A and B are shown apart, each in its own frame.
Chain A
Amino acid sequence: MTIAIYLEYKSDVALYRRLSDALRKAILEGRLKLGQSMPSIRELSESIKLSRSTILKAYADLQNQGLVVALSGSGTFVSTTLPGDLSELIGSALSSPSDRSGSFNEATLSERGQTLVKVGRKQTNEHVHVPAIEYGGTPIELSPMRDWKTLLIKHCNVSSEERVAEMIEPLGLPRLREAIAAYVLRRRSIASGAQNVCIFGSKQLRLELIGRLLLDAEDVVAYEEPGYPENRHTLESMGATIAPIEIDSEGLSMSALQALPSPPKLIYISPSHQDPLGYVMSMRRRHELLDYAATTGAFIIEDDFDNEFRYGKPILPSLKAIDPYDCVIYIASFWKVLYQSLRLSYAVFPDCLVNIGALGKGYLERHLPLVEQLALTDFINDGFMEKHVKCTQRVLEVRRQALILAITRYLKNLIGPLTDGGGTHLILNFNPGITSSLIERTARESGFTLMSTRPYYMNETADGQFIVPFARVDKYTINDTVSRFADLLQKALWSSSDDN
């Protein structure tokens, strides 16, 4: 046990007394808790370089004051009850003055600090409104936890010096980068090779790195509208101006992009499955976008967040795979496939950003969790990943069908046509005149899980637009739930029209 002790220098006070005062202070400050064992005499004498007899004397002194008790055969302990008024003093010495927080002045932050805090607060507030339904994740019962655990434990058991050397690579464990390069080649036809792959310990760091390297304050970022709020916030927190670009059924609207007063430095899109609307960007649009990026010098961030799940539709090659101009940064992660708290994610850089990307990565994050990286390498290389995706997709397909069936049966009159898409959720557009608050309240009462797309929009919100996740839908009860929801909603609508 280590304990910080500062002995004040006073020539007229005996050393043991100075020590017992210091220990007394430690007890009163709450650094040594009531009932906790005191450091052993041998240990203390080693760490503070005083002779054992001095410490013995100091302990005896404390015992006389009633602050510690010595139990023969087990050691010395801080008393559980302190004599007199002392117990009221405990902890008071360490607590910091509380009036400080009130005196905090925003102006002490730098300008970019203020932007950062402002955006951070906005995000925190939005998170409060979003019900904690984890609309994207794989259903828990399908999580490949057994295989994953086996791999984790296997790698806890092997640790060699050679792996330590691998760990200092800021771009990530080399063998995991190779595994991911092979994986994106197999699944998404991206032929960049392992040297372009960069592993991140947290999924927010991907956009943090890209944004920090390429964006100054006031630079323009074209961001799909609606689009994933978290990534938008990260870019916004660097002071960038976000230009929302609307989405049509072919993907990002090119005319809106070309109408921007100044060309963007970054374009953020999710082409394989637009988040949240679910559109797939057409092949023609993809080429147009690439040409646009090439002429303006912009970089495209392709967020391939849930490419794994699609139903019946052929998968288009990723934007990165057809990019002749070296301008696409591909980002993806595994948490949707594996489990929520696995936060390893990755980016595939274009060749021109590999060097500066490595520099920036080393600056932001140099070391990643070793065991999880090793386990993930095996998970991909031994085929668990694809096996698991296939098996999950089969289950999701059934749940999706059950949900669509229930919705078309009971909600047909209340919503617009369903859009098709992959991923793990559906989008419902309720008829105009049904307010969002009514829908949310009814959903809560009937136990139907849905979530407004409000946070996804920067400007005006499409009212009555909701995300319905189906990854955790129970195919046997969903019918009842939706019918209950439809009944309640219908009743509420009738009663409100009666009032009018």
Chain B
Amino acid sequence: MIIDRLNLVIDSASTTGISRQIADAIKQAIIEKQISPGVVLPSVRDIATAINISRSTAARAMDALAAQGYVMAKMGSATRVCSHLPGQSQALPTLPVVPRTICLSRFGQRLNQRFEAGGISLNVPYVGPLLRELPLNIWRNILARHCHKASKDEIQYVPEPFGYQPLREAYSSYLIRARAVKVNPGRLIVFASRNLRLDLICRLLLKEGDLVAIEEPGFSAAREQFLANGACLAPIEVDNQGLIVEQLFALETPPRLIYVTPSHQVPTGAVITMKRRQQLLDYAAKNNCYIIEDDYDSEFRYYGRPLPSLQGLDTNDRTIYLACLWNIMAPVSRIGFMVVPEALVEPLAAAKGLVERDMSVVEQAAISDFINEGHLEKLIRKQRIRYAARRQNLLTHLRKAFGQTIWTAPECAGLGLLVRFRGSYTAEQIEQTVLQSHLPMSNTRTYYQGAARNLEYIINFAAMEDYELSERFELFVALLNSGLLQSSQQLNLLDCRPIVPVGDETLVHTHNLPQIPTSV
């Protein structure tokens, strides 16, 4: 019997549907020539009774095979295997592939160089909120509503280069309210791919060899984008008040672009003070450079008040403001936003139309509803409370396990905590142990353009539930100490003084700071 040769076994645990499983099994048998062309296949009824499934399921499998051209169904007669199988009908000889040398563009070459130098990698691990902590039910309902609606009006949707109008309205009113950004829907651009934002700015404003000021340490993906576009970098160091603007003023030629993360510096967490913000804006206006404000996780400040954006303070219209929903809603949404100066609106409209005109309407419509119905802000509030608790929990653990031998960044913002170990362990020991204990901790090497700081790590406390983080942390400590040779008495405690924040923030911070003796 042919039916025995088909090897129809149903795996009920699989996520693949039953009809697909059957279709795949038969297709496999046909391709591997276990059933030869022209042979009559068992009827739907036979298949259904033989493996005890409903006839309609079996019929669906046969329909799929017929549609894809593997079997031929004829009214009034049995279904047969096609004599010419799809994909092989042309009987093409297998061709020897001649290896080619490729002549890449300068952009392609730079990309390749950075890859070989280890600056960019193909597999970037997923960092984002936990799926089970997102309001997936609400999201599903909204999405399903728009899928149902996805009929006539959305089929006929004429793409807008700046993105779906209702979404731009919804998000700009959120930005005005929550971040004091100067924006109207005409200046807000939606990007389906976040990476295109910086790339488009670079293409518009940078020529090869132009100077770009970046934070040191700073966000590596942005740095790589500038490098791929042929920019020269001017790394500006960061202290506890954010970017050290004096270093910027000391540059011989003013940069074309200044890339900053003022609300929460990556990775140190420092917030640029009001005074420096003003100085930065004045400098940009005087020297005709554009400031790129990447406000990528400004939502997560646990102590102190949310500061208004740099762009909102800018009276000279020199700030390009970037935001995205990734840290809040990934993987549900991947959309990025950009608010541009009035002068750049027209050129960008022309350029965006060339690069990315068409974006998924269903997704954009669903997000605008998500914002308008208040779910976004509710979610942010929940996350903020949750992450603050996790951060506190992590601090307690760190304090208990390492006491004075670890320094933690005092800034209370963001999704990661910056820590520095003090000499008692080698980098190798720590990194080995991290791998073994699966602690969400990584070194900050990639954040530095120049020499990295030794024994500096960032712990992604947001990526894990409390109990899980505690478990892994305990494992980490146990493993680390079991291999420890050095005693903790040799430590130099003088270095442990935390950087004390200044200005208005001081009051807020001090009672949350770990108690560390200032002298020994």
Contact = CB atoms under 8 A, between A and B. Distances in A.
B380 A101 contact: no
B133 to A, nearest CB: 12
A240 to B, nearest CB: 10
B374 interface: yes
Nearest to A168: B126
Contact of B112 (A95, A202, A359, A369): A359
A3 B177 contact: yes
Contacts of A120: 347, 349-354
A323 B95 contact: yes
A13 to B, nearest CB: 14
Contacts of B362: 152, 372
B87 A191 contact: yes
A72 interface: no
A423 B63 CA distance: 26
12 contacts: A97-B317, A110-B210, A117-B351, A152-B144, A159-B136, A168-B123, A203-B358, A219-B105, A234-B354, A317-B90, A326-B98, A352-B102
A4 B178 contact: yes
B345 interface: yes
Nearest to B314: A96
A110 B112 contact: no
B331 A186 contact: no
Contact of A159 (B95, B131, B504): B131
A353 B102 contact: yes
Interface in B141-161: 143-144, 147-148, 150-152, 154-159
A2 B65 contact: no
Interface size on B, as a range, is 35 or more
Contacts of B207: 110-112
A327 B193 contact: no
Interface string A350-381: 11110010111011111111111000001001
A201 B357 CA distance: 11
A489 to B, nearest CB: 29
B306 interface: yes
Given A97-B317, A364-B195, A4 B206 contact: no
A46 B3 CA distance: 67
A315 B350 CA distance: 38
Given A168-B126, A233-B354, A382-B19, A325 B381 contact: no
B346 interface: yes
A120 B508 CA distance: 50
A195 interface: no
Interface string A216-247: 10010000000000000110010000000000
B186 to A, nearest CB: 11
A96 B341 CA distance: 9
B246 interface: no
A108 B143 CA distance: 42
**3 closest Cβ pairs, A-B complex:** A120-B350, A383-B64, A383-B67
A6 B122 contact: no
B495 interface: no
Contacts of A256: none
Interface residues of A, number: 126
A47 interface: yes
A454 interface: no
Interface in B170-228: 173, 176-180, 182, 192-196, 199, 203-207, 210, 224-225, 228
Given A31-B176, A158-B15, A143 B299 contact: no
B115 A359 contact: yes
Given A360-B108, A366-B124, A390 B331 contact: no
A225 to B, nearest CB: 20
A433 B341 CA distance: 50
A343 interface: yes
B87 A96 contact: no
A9 interface: yes
B345 A101 contact: yes
B381 A43 contact: yes
B356 A152 contact: no
Contacts of A214: 102-105, 108
Given A214-B108, A324-B98, A364-B195, A7 B124 contact: no
Of B95, B124, B152, the most chain A CB neighbours within 10 A belong to B95
B290 to A, nearest CB: 9
Contact of B351 (A1, A116, A359): A116
